[in-house]
Chains A and B, each alone.
Chain A
Amino acid sequence: MGVETWLKILPDPVREALNHLPVQQIYELRLRVNAPAVVFIDAQRFTLPTPLITREDLDNVVHKAAEYAIYAVLDQMVQGFITIRGGVRIGLAGELVMADGQVAAISNISSLCLRLPHQVKNCAYPVLPYIFDLKRPAKTLIIAPPGAGKTTLLRDIAKQIGNKYPQLNTLILDERGELAAAYQGENQLDVGNADVITGGNKSFGFLNGLRSLRPDVVITDEIATADDAEMVRNAARSGVIVMASTHAADLDEVRHKPYLCDLYNEGVFDRYVVLTTGERAGEVVGVFDRSGRRL
C-alpha cells in the first residue's frame, strides 16, 4: 500500500511535518480539534509540530477520505468509521445525529483516528504449527485488545491457507475493508487466493457467501455483536472452518463475554490465539485448544 494514498488526505502542515518521520512505520495518526496532530510509531507517541487542527481541517480530511463521495460511505460513517483505499481505517468521533432511534449521520466531527494497516509477511508462522496441525486448518479465534495486530495476523493466515491448502476455497468477509483492503474490485493487500466480500455486514456475507461461493474456510474480522457470534456459530455448524478475531485481553475475558462464552462452551473454535499489545504488539502470548488448555 502506498503511503501517498493516506498522506494525500491530510492537512498540508501535517503532511509536511510527516516528511521528517519514517512514514512507513507509522501505525496510527490522531487528529483532534484544537490540538496538534499525534502519531504512533512502534508504540511511541509523537506530537507533530503543526498548528492546531481546526474543524474545517477535519471536514476536509473526511471529505477527501471519502473521495468526495459521502454518499458512498455514509453507511460506514454511521458506524463510526470510513475505510479508504489501501485499507486505512479512519475512526470518527463527533455528534451523532439520530433518526427513528438509529444513527443517521455524524456531524461536528471532533477527532479522527487513522489506523494504517501493515502487511507483515509470514507473521503467522509462529501460530501455523498449532492451527495447521490437522488435515484441515483448525477453527481459530484470535484474541487481543485493539491495535495488537489481529487483522495483520488474520491476513497472513489467509495467505498461508492458500499456500498450504490450495484445494480449499477461502472466503474473506471484510466488513470494514481492512483485511484485503479491496478498492474497486482489486485487493490492495495480499490475502492469497481468496474470495473477498467487502462492506455490507457479516450476516449478509455469511448467508450469501455460504450459498453462492461454496467456501471451505471463512475468515472474518472482529466478532463484536451477538449477531456476529450467531453467524459464526451457523457457519461452523455448516461444516465451514471459521477463522475470526475478537477484542479481549485474554481467553478468560472471552469466557465471560456474553455472546463469546456460548461459542466457547459449545466448542465452536478448536484453537484460541492470544496476542499481546503495547511495545510487543503482535507477539503471540499463547495458543489454547477448545478446552482452554495451553498448547
Chain B
Amino acid sequence: MKWFMGGACLIICVVMGVVYYRRSWRRVQFYTEVINFCHHLQTALGFTRPPLPLVIKQALPQATGEFAKALAGYGQLLDGQSALTREKCTALTTDTDVAEFLFQLGRTGSVTEQAKIANALTIFTAKQQQANDHLRFKASITLKLLIIIGIAGVILWI
C-alpha cells in the first residue's frame, strides 16, 4: 500500500509537471508557427499577391500544432459563404492578437499589409520571447520541483 501510494504521488506530480511544461512548450511553438506564417505572408504578398485562401492553403502543410488548427479553421471561414466576422476569428484561438491579426488580414493595399505584418511580427516575436523565457525558467523549475515533491512523497510514504 505504501509503495502504491508513494508511486501514485510520484506519478501525479510528474504528470502535472510534464503537462505544465508541455503547455508552455506549445505556447512557444504556437508563436513560432505564427511567426513562420507571417514570413510566408510577407513573401507571398511581396511578389505574386495571391488570394488569401490560396496563401492559407500553401501555408497549411508547413504549420503544425495549435496554430495549424486555427489556420485550417480560418481557411474554412474564408471559403465559406457567410461574412468573416471578428467573433468567428476570436473563436479560432485564445490569443486575441492573433485573432485580430487574422481578422484584419487582406483588407488593405500591399504596402499597408506589409507594414501590418511587420508590426505583427514585432508583437509575436516579443510574445514568443516571453513564452520562451517562461518555458526556460518558470516551467522548467516547476517541472523539477514537482518531480522533487513526487520523490519526497515516495520517501514520506515509504
Contact = CB atoms under 8 A, between A and B. Distances in A.
The judgment on whether A and B are partners is: yes
A227 to B, nearest CB: 24
A63 B110 contact: no
Looking at chain B's contact residues, the main secondary structure is loop
Counting contact residues on chain A (CB < 8 A from B), the size range is 10 to 19
Contacts, number: 55
A90 to B, nearest CB: 15
B83 A69 contact: no
A8 B109 contact: no
A15 B81 contact: yes
Interface string B48-88: 01111111000000000000000000000010011110000
Contact of B82 (A12, A70, A72): A12
B108 to A, nearest CB: 6
A74 B111 CA distance: 11
A64 B110 contact: no
A70 B109 contact: yes
Interface in B84-143: 84, 105-110, 112-113
Nearest to B108: A70
B82 A67 contact: no
Contacts of A56: 83
Given A63-B106, A66-B106, A71 B84 contact: no
Nearest to A12: B82
Looking at chain A's contact residues, the main secondary structure is helix
B49 A72 contact: yes
A72 B50 contact: yes
B45 interface: yes
A117 B45 CA distance: 29
A13 B30 CA distance: 38
Interface in A1-50: 8, 11-12, 15
Interface of B: 45, 49-55, 78, 81-84, 105-110, 112-113
A169 interface: no
Contacts of B105: 68
A56 B51 CA distance: 21
Given A68-B105, A105-B109, 11 more contacts: A12-B81, A63-B107, A66-B51, A66-B106, A67-B51, A67-B53, A68-B51, A69-B49, A69-B52, A71-B112, A71-B113
Interface of A: 8, 11-12, 15, 56, 60, 63-64, 66-72, 74, 105
B51 A72 contact: yes
Contacts of B82: 12
A64 B83 contact: yes
Contact of B106 (A15, A60, A70): A70
23 contacts: A11-B83, A15-B81, A56-B83, A64-B83, A66-B51, A66-B106, A67-B78, A68-B84, A69-B50, A69-B55, A70-B107, A70-B109, A71-B45, A71-B106, A71-B109, A71-B110, A71-B113, A72-B49, A72-B50, A72-B51, A72-B110, A74-B109, A105-B109
Nearest to A183: B51
Contacts of B78: 67-68
A169 B105 CA distance: 41
A63 B84 contact: yes
Nearest to A85: B51
Which of A56, A69, A72, A105 has the most CB atoms of chain B within a 10 A radius of its CB? A69
A68 B52 contact: yes
Nearest to A75: B109
A275 B112 CA distance: 44
A11 B82 CA distance: 7
A71 B49 contact: yes
Contacts of B51: 66-69, 72
Closest 3 CB pairs of A and B: A67-B51, A68-B52, A71-B110
Contacts of B54: 67
